[in-house]
Amino acid sequence: MSKRRRTEIEDDGDYTEENRTPLAEDSATRESSPSAEDELRSSAIVSILLRMVMTRSARNQKIRREHFTTILHKHNVKGNTKAIISQVDAELKEVFGLKLDQSTNDIVLISNLQKDTKLLLQKLVENGDGSEFKGNPYDTFYFMNKEKRNETTVSMSDSIFGGIIMLLIGLVIVNENRIRESDLLDGLSQFGFSENLNIVVPNLNKTTQEVLTEATKKEYLQKLVAQAHGGEPAIVSYALGKRTLREFDAHTLLEFLNEIVEQEELKPKCIETVKRCFPDDTFENSASGNNVQS
């Protein structure tokens, strides 16, 4: 309302708060709340950060806080970086069932699904019924392939690599979370792998050396190199990596070990090793059936 109009109303004795125009109220509201344009911009920035996180994770590259700040600076985004990372984390949990683990200097992308949810997802992937898509003949997608598409199916190489990762983790645990590379290769040979690091793993198109390198880079395994004396070659060993300790729980690993470890005398050793690696977990003793709480 203009100053002149307000003066006129006051002179008439009719001025009340009800005489204020809606335009003035709307203007005040817009000033105090973020605009739709700001919300769209914020959503776009989160999408860019999501792509960065997913891309770096897929390429086995480290994710650090400075990767976020670089993008924010490039797009002239000001604000609390921690709060923006939290927005990205919330989006990952809601859409992809993933989360950002920020317990160390590096930020790691890991699963956010509970054990029961993971098992359900696995069943959905494995037990696709191949039923036909029943659509409306006037629907745009009616003439597409009638076989139901399984959106969650992963590639064969991903499935094989995941199985090898579990095998590597199992061999490390059986050896009390420290195994020499030569012993690890010997253990793999019992499952059909060549002890020659340069031999390609069937159906994976990667050598054993490349598999170990990728497992280490993804932090499923930790590579330990002890320098030898007197010109002897360095001693290479492996232990469980940070990602394994974040992404798995004691109960899941014990169930897996109970399936692949046949020697009963090794099972108590596995339980003790898992107990040391996961001191905060409560899990079932798979060998004796008793509950163990550390």
Residue type, 163: G
Q: How far is residue 3's CA from residue 9's CA, in Å, rounded to a whole number?
A: 10
Residue 267: what pLDDT?
86
Judged on CB neighbours under 10 Å (0-12, 13-18, 19+), 215 is: buried
CA distance 267 to 274: 11
Specify the DSSP element, H or E, that contains 162.
helix 156-174
Check if the beta carbon of residue 234 is closer than 8 Å to that of residue 226.
yes
Q: What is the structure's pLDDT at 21?
A: 44
Task: Report pTM.
Answer: 0.58
Identify the H or E element spanning 55: helix 36-58
| pLDDT score recorded for residue 263 | 83
Tell me the two tokens of residue 21.
Answer: 């125009």
Neighbours of 219 (CB within 10 A): 21
State residue 222's pLDDT score.
Answer: 94
E-assigned strand segments in 169-220: 179-180, 200-201, 206-207
Q: What is the mean pLDDT of each run of 10 residues along the chain (294 residues)?
A: 50 46 45 63 89 86 89 87 91 90 80 78 65 53 51 64 91 93 90 84 85 91 86 88 88 86 85 88 49 40
For the chain, the domains span 3-32, 36-111, 156-293
DSSP 225-240: EE--STTPPPEEEEEE
Structural fold of domain 156-293? Arc Repressor Mutant, subunit A (1.10.10)
Dist. CA 141–CA 134, nearest whole Å = 10
**Helix H or strand E encompassing 106:** none
Selection from 199, 198, 195 nearest residue 184 by Cα:
195
Task: Report the alpha-carbon distance of residue 247 to residue 243 in Å, rounded.
Answer: 6
- CATH code reported for the domain at 36-111: 1.10.10.1200
Q: Which residues contact 103 (CB under 8 A, 6 or more apart)?
A: 246
Strand-pair partners of 111: 98
The answer to whether the CB of 174 falls within 8 A of the CB of 261 is yes
Q: What's the CA gap between 129 and 262, in Å, rounded?
A: 34
Structure confidence at residue 227 (pLDDT): 82
Q: Are 219 and 108 in contact (CB under 8 A)?
A: yes
Residue 159: per-residue pLDDT: 80
User: Which pLDDT does position 16 carry in this prediction?
Assistant: 46
